[in-house]
Structure 1
Amino acid sequence: MEIEDGKIITEQRFPSPNPDVALSLVTYYSGGLKVKGMLAKPLGYEPEDGFLYLRGGIKNVGKVRPARIAQFASEGFTVFAPFYRGNQGGEGDEDFAGEDRQDAFSAYKLLKSLPSVRDIHIFGFSRGGVMALLTALEFPEAASLATWGGVSDMSLTYVERKDLRRMMKRVIGGTPLKYPERYQYRTPLYRLEHLEVPVMIIHGVQDGNVSAEHAYRLEKRLKELGKPVDSWYFGEFNHFFPPGVNRKVVEDLAKWMKSHSGK
């Protein structure tokens, strides 16, 4: 019997840093694997807006932070953040926007299956940027997409991040010169003509982890294709914004997302 992607297997309460938000650890099915993630809901009501949070990094770098998930939930979203396969007790092996994209797709289906959720917004941070774009291509009915400090071109990441090259060669199976198709498979820039979702790009111009060139390439291509795109660039900030600025951007982003709900 085929197991349905996105089906919740177990849900266990998790201590929340915000008294107004309930957190739980969820095990769900993705491509036949049991994968883990975190679900966050504001207490007292069930939001119609779902929020798919796609983390950056790989393995223990860039793990999902409960406080960040609760922050978005407190803006009036039901948030689900997959940990991706092989992480925090999940089955399988993460492969940096390769087959682990299925975990994002299944997480989208999980949110969609919740009775209260009507619209789903997709959010990607750092490496999660490509995951978000791939998910929006898979689900054109999504309400909106935001990429914050997001990767858009995997070959560019290999060129820029010398410190990641060993990991990328191991996980992806070689270099962009030797296996260009493997990097193109992980690079949604080549398929944006199929994107139907309004896009928000948020990027710190001083970002040394994911250069602003990723944002510029994404914005340029979307505009060439006549796709709806907004961008907020912050000239003085890098990959991580100061707490006060971060809170304001989250509030503004929540308003932007909800302006695309119910359409």
Structure 2
Amino acid sequence: MSTVRVGSNAQKRTRAPDVEDVPTNAAKRSKNVATDAASETNPGIDSTSDSESEDGASSDNDFISKPEFCGNFDLYAMWLPFLRKVYLPAGTTTPEYEAIYNLVLKYQAKPDFTARCYLPRSSVLGGRFRCAIVDDPMSGEPFEIKLTHMVAKDQLVFSSAERRTMKAILERTPDTVTHGAGLVAEAELDSDECFVDSAEGTIKFTRVWAKMGKDETLQELFEGFFSFDVEFSRVYARKGFEASANHDIAFWAIRARKDAKGKEIGLSP
């Protein structure tokens, strides 16, 4: 298994996979659902209503229009060149979400990914996150990160700093900024580390595109932002390591593959 590495200061350490050609024909969007505006909160996860929902009977598209933010996900850094290339081709104003989804599927099958995360249905259980570059610089091993205090949002809001990062990567315009349902969770180390003074962060998730596939399976593309700040003890500085690490990862995500028994492959217990 190979892993695409990413971090705020890690681009020089990153190996970008070869670019593969992916159709970007906008005519295929007739059955797509872009930028989700309705949500169905996960059972057991705190919910805050940022906008009033519309009352009425369920439509035929409810299965598509109400995302569930739970399960295993494979994450892919937005700034990877082969993803930037297909996001907003020259001369277009509408993001090619389906092209991104199709391209990411190819790398997932290798398997290849930037990071993985698991979001439970119940916040009592806690989620998990792992990324090769969010690591202990002394051991080189990725931190085991748990996700807590998960809150479902009717309208997910990215901070100004997060939006600036995404805009710089994707060259977004106001028309291509996501406004939809999502989930926010806090990130912290799963267990105490001897030489870590503090470690905290957040992860944000929203769905930007969905489509019912030919085999009646739901295809979904998510986007999000993971930030994690670590302060190390003086021991690290004495050994020549940085005193702190700040990780900011804007990402695309798709649901994990399943094994022969139908179980998702990922970080779930």
TM-score normalised by L of structure 2: 0.28
Query: Structure with the greater relative contact order (CA < 8 A, sep ≥ 6): 1 or 2?
Result: 2
Task: Give the number of the structure whose residues are more often helix, by fraction.
Answer: 1
Task: Give the number of the structure whose residues are more often strand, by fraction.
Answer: 2
TM-score normalised by L of structure 1: 0.28
Larger radius of gyration: 2
